[in-house]
Structure 1
Amino acid sequence: MTSREAVAAALSRARERTTVLTDSVDDGDLVAQHSPLMSPLVWDLAHIGNQEELWLVRDVGGRDAVRDDIDQLYDAFQHPRATRPSLPLLDPAQARDYVATVRDKTWDVLDHTRFDGRRLERDGFAFGMIAQHEQQHVETMLATHQLRAGARVLSAPPTPPPAPGSRPGEVVVPAGVFEMGTSTEPWALDNERPAHPVDVRAFAIETFPVTNARYREFIDDGGYERPELWTERGWRHRVDAGLEAPEFWTRDSGGAWWRRSFGTLAPVVADEPVVHVCWFEADAFARWAGKRLPTEAEWEKAARWDPRTGCSRRYPWGDDTPTAATANLGGTHLGPARVGAYPAGASASGAEQMIGDVWEWTSSGFDPYPGFEAFPYREYSEVFFGGDYRVLRGGSFGTDEVACRGTFRNWDHPIRRQIFAGFRLARDAGGTH
């Protein structure tokens, strides 16, 4: 049974991160659109409050509206990101006052809500959904900070070093059925449900995500000049977008690569996972390497399946929630850690850093599981099924633990690079059962 303390902690942790990302810049940066791919930070801030008001204050709490006059302004489906700066948005002071007022009412709703009532309230699901929603926008705002020009305004301690003896390689996952998805995780979202058996052929998957050093080899070998490595659509996008390296990479006159991260330019670290590559780049790299991207089912089996028990775990390392020793999450380090830094987070199959660091592109499109039921609204998942999307798994350094578990599914267009995405490779291993 979910406790009120756990709900309060999840909501508070999300709000602390929102506050850091919005208080670290001035009002001009809050209202500016730093990329047409992203909303102004002030839109994200008020949208976070509006969703909290709609679901927790009005629906769960049955309270009067705080600001029902702004619902349309902060409806993400009515206004594409590129057009949001032209809307009559709340200014920074108004947005901060609004989200604070909503949160005060949310605390009162939490005090008076039973967690054993209707489905929306059972195990505190509505509160968990809103905590996840805010943390997803926190990661989006973090991506906006990465796109923002100007001096660095965020700081974080360095990531831990790799464990002694860490070496890249691959692990083989035997053929067989495993349980994919969940029917028991209390705050799992609708696209993660229901749990269902999936029969997966034997495959090998790399121990770590692809590193910057390996990606440089792809560049140096003419990976961006060889159309045979790319799908027809991917090559067309590479040419039209002028892709020559991961986003935020630049090469100096001596041939060395540098990467801009949150306002700081630094040399590319060889053994960090490559980040800010689109699906087309990941797919081309895989073809160059003689391998492929894993399917979503393969990724989840490698992350969750325990051959000793025949069961699927919540996380690669087991059922315990993430710690600083098992995964790089929550914006703690503001970047991916070098491969081998989290041996305690290894899956039973032996794959490491499958949670945190970088979202990992898979080869799969975003489709519903057998028996899918939209809940509590169609627009979270159902309207995206079958579209031009590829599934990403595992979360990134900017993802909070509340929005990252072994079953969590993310999705985006194959051209997107502003997200904190990398990839790892897989191959067929033969063998049937």
Structure 2
Amino acid sequence: MALTDSVDDTDLVAQHSPLMSPLVWDLAHIANQEELWLVREAGGRPGLRPDLDHLYDAFQHPRADRPALPLLGPAEARAYVSAVREQTLDVLAGTDTDPGRPERLLAGAFVFGMLAQHEQQHDETMLATHQLRQGPPVLDAPEPPRAPADAADLPAEVLVPGGPFTMGTSDEPWALDNERPEHRVDVSAFWLDTVPVTNGAYQRFIAAGGYQDPAWWTPEGWRHVTGTGLSAPEFWQRDGDTWTRRRFGHVEQVPADEPVLHVCWYEADAYARWAGRRLPTEPEWEKAARHDPATGRSRRYPWGDADPGPEHANLGHRHLRPAPAGSYPAGAAPCGARQLMGDVWEWTASDFSPYPGFEPFPYKEYSEVFFGPDYKVLRGGAFGVGDVAGRGTFRNWDYPIRRQIFAGFRTARDAAPEDGGSA
């Protein structure tokens, strides 16, 4: 509600980019999905507005086409959200959500968790729409904490020992189908950046002519760069000798110590090649974030199994920007890497594919239809990700050209035999 109440009705119904829906569509879509799955499916009730289902079906209508639909207006959408939420809470109060229930949707309140995550994902989508919106600032949040005293002395990279680990999950109650099932993966030893690549480091890539040299780009990436004229991350502008950026309506100097943001996969991959490194694979990323060599088990989060708190990670719209590189020592992984959760989504080298034994649930369109080489995997969650969707097994994916998302990256390299063995 804060993301929609912060703008007037004109902004609410406007399409601020063909990449995004009008904010009013997301608002009513959240309610419609809640009505479908919680009021009707979980509650067994007839529902409020089944006539709206086709309007708010994301698979029937591409984002660019949604403004032409006969959508609910701002007042109608808010009334719809309120009416659905009232019934949802009533259903929740009267539903047995024992983990032992035979119905998978209700066991452990999975369907409620699924919809809570769906809402949080659309909150992040609406936050991205706010970033694309032109006009004066309407959102505000406190600054993230300063980097800790040891941030400047951190090693550039950490060693992740080779050996098998457990990837994915079979017992996280609200994990989505693409996170399942857990399975053993053998990962060779590798070195990983201790922190995400920063704006300052990325500026050196730009200054070295990184966008002008095809040597650093895949053929597809070079065609994209030359065809679109990319020369810097999205929302950056050159002002004399200084780089500035637009962030939720504010124009400010690009902070050198923050993780770089709004770069596509092709840009992340090119930077890694220029630096003599590569992007980590998805199994490498998850092993670095979850594997505890001391116990041999995989944690829920880099710091352990406790739910994320403000000392662990920059999640949940708490700050409307990444924290400085090296922040959140309490959230560090066993390997020593920091900020693997929160701040920025991190591009990996991997295509989005199913785990061995994958089963679509509760519908194929959540994951299965996206599997394949068209989409690259992102991990870790950005500052706009809600805590309910921020965990070590959560998988995100997008086209390699996308830059409006809150994505950055870190790089990796193979370890030499003398660097480290199995663990």
Selected match of 1:126 from 106, 111, 120: 111
1:5 corresponds to: none
Paired with 1:375 and 1:406, the residues of 2 have a C-alpha distance of: 20
One-letter amino acid of the counterpart of residue 140, structure 2: S
Q: Deviations over 1:109-146 (max 9, x none)?
A: 00111113311001100000000000000000000000
Q: Number of aligned pairs?
A: 414
Asked if residue 115 in structure 1 is aligned to residue 102 in structure 2, the reply is no
Selected match of 2:214 from 216, 221, 227: 227
Asked if residue 196 in structure 1 is aligned to residue 196 in structure 2, the reply is no
2:136 corresponds to: 151
- Deviation at 1:404? 1.2
Selected match of 1:396 from 356, 361, 382: 382
1:330 corresponds to: 316
1:86 corresponds to: 68
Q: Deviations over 1:355-396 (max 9, x none)?
A: 000000000000000000000000000010114000000000
One-letter amino acid of the counterpart of residue 428, structure 1: D
Q: After superposition, where does 1:158-237 map in structure 2 within 5 Å?
A: 158-166=143-151, 167-237=154-224
Q: CA RMSD in A?
A: 0.7
2:16 corresponds to: 34
One-letter amino acid of the counterpart of residue 234, structure 1: G
Paired with 2:159 and 2:17, the residues of 1 have a C-alpha distance of: 41
Asked if residue 426 in structure 1 is aligned to residue 386 in structure 2, the reply is no
Paired with 1:107 and 1:157, the residues of 2 have a C-alpha distance of: 31
- Structure 2 stretches lacking a partner, 5+ long: none
One-letter amino acid of the counterpart of residue 215, structure 2: E
Paired with 2:238 and 2:263, the residues of 1 have a C-alpha distance of: 16
Paired with 2:142 and 2:155, the residues of 1 have a C-alpha distance of: 25
Q: Deviations over 1:29-65 (max 9, x none)?
A: 0000000000000000000000000000000000112
1:286 corresponds to: 272
One-letter amino acid of the counterpart of residue 156, structure 1: A
SS in structure 2 of the partner of residue 271 of structure 1: coil
1:383 corresponds to: 369
Q: Deviations over 1:249-283 (max 9, x none)?
A: 0011x220001000000000001000000000000
- Deviation at 1:169? 1.1
- Structure 1 stretches lacking a partner, 5+ long: 1-18
2:33 corresponds to: 51
One-letter amino acid of the counterpart of residue 158, structure 2: V
SS in structure 1 of the partner of residue 34 of structure 2: helix
One-letter amino acid of the counterpart of residue 204, structure 1: W
2:127 corresponds to: 142
SS in structure 2 of the partner of residue 260 of structure 1: strand
Q: After superposition, where does 1:243-392 map in structure 2 within 5 Å?
A: 243-252=230-239, 254-392=240-378
- Deviation at 1:337? 0.4
- Deviation at 1:168? 4.8
1:4 corresponds to: none
One-letter amino acid of the counterpart of residue 123, structure 1: G
Q: Deviations over 1:386-420 (max 9, x none)?
A: 14000000000000110110000000000000000
SS in structure 1 of the partner of residue 366 of structure 2: coil
- Deviation at 1:348? 0.4
One-letter amino acid of the counterpart of residue 410, structure 1: N
- Deviation at 1:430? 3.0
One-letter amino acid of the counterpart of residue 150, structure 1: G
Paired with 1:387 and 1:354, the residues of 2 have a C-alpha distance of: 24
SS in structure 2 of the partner of residue 107 of structure 1: helix
Q: Stretches of 4+ moved more than 4 A in 1?
A: none
Q: Deviations over 1:224-248 (max 9, x none)?
A: 0001110000000001111000000
Paired with 1:267 and 1:96, the residues of 2 have a C-alpha distance of: 37
One-letter amino acid of the counterpart of residue 307, structure 1: P
Paired with 1:67 and 1:387, the residues of 2 have a C-alpha distance of: 38
Paired with 2:76 and 2:178, the residues of 1 have a C-alpha distance of: 34
Paired with 2:241 and 2:73, the residues of 1 have a C-alpha distance of: 45
One-letter amino acid of the counterpart of residue 397, structure 2: W
| TM-score of the two chains, using structure 1 as the length reference | 0.95
Equivalent residues of 1:329, 1:357 under 8 A apart: yes
Paired with 2:169 and 2:337, the residues of 1 have a C-alpha distance of: 21
Paired with 1:316 and 1:220, the residues of 2 have a C-alpha distance of: 34
Paired with 1:345 and 1:165, the residues of 2 have a C-alpha distance of: 14
Paired with 2:296 and 2:156, the residues of 1 have a C-alpha distance of: 24
| TM-score of the two chains, using structure 2 as the length reference | 0.97
One-letter amino acid of the counterpart of residue 243, structure 2: W
Paired with 2:333 and 2:393, the residues of 1 have a C-alpha distance of: 14
